[in-house]
Amino acid sequence: MAKVLIDPLSRIEGHLSIEIDVIGKRVTGAKSKGDMYRGFENILIGRNPIDANMITQRICGVCPISHAIASSKCLESAFGVIPGINGILLRNLILAANFIQSHILHFYHLAALDYVDIKAVLQYQGNDTQMKKIKTWAAKEIDTKATSLTAVSPFLPRYEGKDFYIKDTGLNIQTIANYVKALEIRTKAHKMATLLAGKIPHAASIVPGGITQKIDSGILDDYLELLEEVETFINKTYYEDVINIAQAFPEYLKLGSFNTFLTYGVFENESNTEYLFKKGYVKNKRVLKFKEDDITEHIRYAKFKGPGRSHPKKADTNPAPYKGGAYSWVKAPRYKNNAVEVGPLARIAVNYYSNDETVKSEVQTFLSRVGKKSNALFSVMGRHAARVIECKILCKEAKKWLTAIDLKANIRQPFIIPDNSEGYGMTEAPRGALGHWITIKNQKIERYQCVVPTTWNASPKDNYGNMGPIEQALLHAPITDLKNPIEAARIVRSFDPCLACAIHITDGNDTLYKYRVT
């Protein structure tokens, strides 16, 4: 048996290492190791509850809107406040823009580099329109003068091997040109969010009860103008690039499979009773009712001390860096004691098995284009497809939300901080299910806990020895070259891990490590 360590796994948010056991060029065991150590939840203890809304957004610069909304919902639950129609719709529009930019970022600027061949493109002698775009951009942004072509950041260095990358030079050129275009489109999606959120990242306007940003018809018109340009890119470019890469790498319509899913629901309707992407728990292709009480966090293999298993509202984040057997700073959340995948594929799966007509149609179209049956959805390429399908649906729905806003109605409901209370807020980040829990005592935060998407997906083994979703998805994957385990990297990146979100602990009294600088 050979042990392979990918440390660090690049092109993700935060610090993650993956250890795999390989026998006969197949993965037989895996460990997902969260290597970060940082502080958030304990920082909140003793503060005004309203501080949580701003501080928790700093957990992540990619998905701060989701944390703003989860925190607002958490506080609304504790305060007994229900946002009005405008508050719901405007939050939906801000979050939709954040979802779109995140999905585009992940596909083009994090994952696609595992498939395109930058060396073949830079050695190409043609001068067509797409190549001109690449050369113009490359002259400003990357070192194309390196004679060995080893410093063309962020494309190189990379794993090297025969048949690892797209063979068709034209497809390589097109995809890399779209990589460059996607930088511009992401900026426009950010601008959409900024129009309503005040600023990005870390929105200034999302608060308990709604939002504070003043809205007029001009702002909504500007949002729509940007939305239409972004939608064109999604439908004509992003979608086709996902199809092209899926067709070029059909084996990844099988690899990375996992089939138990959880979603909290996201993008409420105007009456705050239903979700565009429904909440639910999928097991054995059946959608079961979700119950918040069935969430637990396990810490047997995580570097924390305390009860081995607890509900988040009773949990603490007390570090134990030298704990025997522990191998990750990520806890192991479980639903009904099951490891579950969260994220875009989970949301699509819940809607698909709930017979949502729009999602079923989009899924069937994708499967038809790649010539596969429904099981192919639960794979590396299925995760990429789920993201672009979400983007397509969100663009259509955002137009409806824009027209439903009443400029004469309130955008925020008032609230009073109670002396003592508890609450929780649940939503979805681009990467999956996000929950915040609060306990208030004497109008101060006594306990605050977050369980974020990557805590679910990148979790270590639980108290019963069951592996986390990423760990399980790696099992049986082929590893062609032990020195270049690109197959494992592609599988892990398809989950879009964010370790910055997954780890939030601090303890000012303990010495964790000592370093000598010479």
Among 499, 485, 508, 385, CA closest to 27: 485
Rounded to whole angstroms, the Cα distance separating 72 from 51 reads: 11
pLDDT in tens, 393-417: 999 999 999 999 999 999 999 999 9
pLDDT in tens, 230-269: 999 999 999 999 999 999 999 999 999 999 999 999 999 8
* Total Cβ atoms within 10 A of residue 389: 29
The reported pLDDT for the residue numbered 502 is 64
Instruction: Give phi and psi for 421, each to the nearest 5.
Output: -170, 170
What DSSP character marks residue 94? H
- Strand-pair partners of 394: none
Residue 211: partners with Cβ closer than 8 Å, 6 or more residues away: 87, 90, 91, 94, 196, 197, 205, 411, 412
What does the H/E/C string look like for 249-275? Answer: CHHHHCCCCCCCEEEEEEEECCCCCCE
Measured CA distances, 518 to 314, 461, 515 (Å): 44, 38, 10
The reported pLDDT for the residue numbered 37 is 64
Residue 196: partners with Cβ closer than 8 Å, 6 or more residues away: 90, 93, 94, 205, 211, 213, 215, 219, 223
Q: Which helix (H) or strand (E) holds 231?
A: helix 217-233
Least confident of 210-224, 247-261, 315-329, 420-434: 315-329
The reported pLDDT for the residue numbered 122 is 77
The reported pLDDT for the residue numbered 120 is 84
pTM of the model: 0.93
The reported pLDDT for the residue numbered 398 is 98
Q: In this model, does residue 421 exceed pLDDT 50?
A: yes
pLDDT in tens, 10-20: 888 878 999 99
The reported pLDDT for the residue numbered 151 is 56
Instruction: Give phi and psi for 311, each to the nearest 5.
Output: -75, 145
The reported pLDDT for the residue numbered 413 is 94
Q: Is 313:451 a contact under the CB 8 Å cutoff?
A: no
Measured CA distances, 178 to 130, 135, 137, 142, 341 (Å): 9, 13, 12, 16, 29
pLDDT band (50, 70, 90) for residue 477: very high
* Mean pLDDT of the residues in the chain: 91
Best-predicted range by mean pLDDT (59-73, 125-139, 149-163, 289-303): 289-303
pLDDT in tens, 18-38: 999 999 999 999 999 998 766
Q: In this model, does residue 484 exceed pLDDT 50?
A: yes
The reported pLDDT for the residue numbered 512 is 45
The reported pLDDT for the residue numbered 127 is 75
What DSSP character marks residue 408? T
Q: What average pLDDT does range 104-119 have in this prediction?
A: 94
Q: What average pLDDT does range 276-298 have in this prediction?
A: 96
Label residue 299 left, alpha or beta by phi (over 0 means left) and psi (-120 to 50 means alpha): alpha
Residue 364: partners with Cβ closer than 8 Å, 6 or more residues away: none
The reported pLDDT for the residue numbered 503 is 62
For 395, the token pair is 């663009």
The reported pLDDT for the residue numbered 518 is 36
pLDDT in tens, 345-382: 999 999 999 999 999 999 999 999 999 999 999 999 99
Least confident of 43-52, 276-285, 509-518: 509-518
Residue 503: partners with Cβ closer than 8 Å, 6 or more residues away: 14, 34, 36, 37, 38, 329, 330
Rounded to whole angstroms, the Cα distance separating 488 from 368 reads: 27
pLDDT band (50, 70, 90) for residue 174: very high
